[in-house]
Amino acid sequence: EDQVTQSPEALRLQEGESSSLNCSYTVSGLRGLFWYRQDPGKGPEFLFTLYSAGEEKEKERLKATLTKKESFLHITAPKPEDSATYLCAVHGYYGGATNKLIFGTGTLLAVQP
Amino acid sequence: AAGVIQSPRHLIKEKRETATLKCYPIPRHDTVYWYQQGPGQDPQFLISFYEKMQSDKGSIPDRFSAQQFSDYHSELNMSSLELGDSALYFCASIQHSTGELFFGEGSRLTVL
């Protein structure tokens, strides 16, 4: 069964303290791995899509990497405005037009000034 | 850039009532998804449509139904509402060829 596990569940950082979030996955065939940021009461905001092992993408203080079993979201010198829940989701090959994403439970990041 | 539009943003209903949520996808996106997110939970897939046909079904209760119309907007109909249906309901749209999924801001349903 396809599964996505994120760790840690919650992370508290001081402003400027770099760290990484982990997303481990098992999927029958990976079509893509997505990272989203979600603020309370709002819809997930798209950050990155990674398609193959070894791929990396960067956006401001965030960098996402992908291996065959997991993905990391590296946060460099975070600021308080980076505080949010970060969701990882995988999109597998299910045949036909099926495109559902399977989400992890997220990592709640709090960055203190 | 145009985003996924959902309405209403907030909805309060009594138990056993019905509710309808609407979703307008990003223009030229041909696939729409519905997700339900309870407090502190990750989004749970309900149902999806591709080119106006149901393409996949997740953990959607039999009391719920959905459809996609000719203009690609979608509606989620919920009947015999229960307290446990209180959640954020997200719609997302995707351009089938790229696979990148974009979410709306969500509709918050509260069942009293």
Q: Comparing A79 with A91, which gets the higher pLDDT?
A: A79
**pLDDT at residue A97, rounded to an integer:** 47
Cβ contact A99–B43 (<8 Å): no
On whether the CB atoms of residues A59 and A73 are closer than 8 A, the answer is no
Distance in Å, alpha carbon of A42 to nearest chain B alpha carbon? 5
From first to last of the 112 residues of chain B, give the pLDDT tens digit.
578 999 999 999 999 999 999 999 998 888 899 999 988 788 888 999 988 898 888 889 999 999 999 999 999 999 999 999 999 999 999 876 666 778 898 999 999 9
Kindly determine whether residue A41 and residue B56, on different chains, have CB atoms separated by under 8 Å: no
pLDDT number for residue B98: 66
Query: Looking at the complex, does the CB of residue A91 fall below 8 Å from at least one CB of chain B?
Result: yes
Give B-chain residues touching A32 at CB under 8 angstroms: 99-100
Contact in structure between B100 and B1 (CB atoms under 8 Å):
no
**Which tens digit of pLDDT belongs to each residue from A81-113?**
999 999 999 887 655 545 567 889 899 999 999
pLDDT of residue B47: 92
Task: Return the pLDDT at A41.
Answer: 82
Q: What is the mean pLDDT of residues A56-69?
A: 95
Of A41, A43, A97, Cβ closest to residue B50:
A97
Q: Does A99 touch chain B (CB under 8 A)?
A: yes
Residue of A4, A100, A102, A105 to mutate, testing the B interface (most B Cβ within 10 Å of its Cβ)? A100
Pairing type for strands B10-13 and B107-111 reads: parallel
Query: Which chain A residues are closer than 8 Å to B96 by Cβ?
Result: 97, 99
Question: For residues A69 and A15, what is the distance between their CA atoms, to the nearest angstrom?
Answer: 30
Say if the Cβ atoms of B31 and A99 lie within 8 Å: yes
Q: Go through A13-24 and write b for each residue having 16 or more CB atoms within 10 A of its CB, e for each that does not.
A: beeeeeeebebe
A17 close to A36: Cβ distance less than 8 angstroms: no
What's the confidence (pLDDT) of residue B1? 59
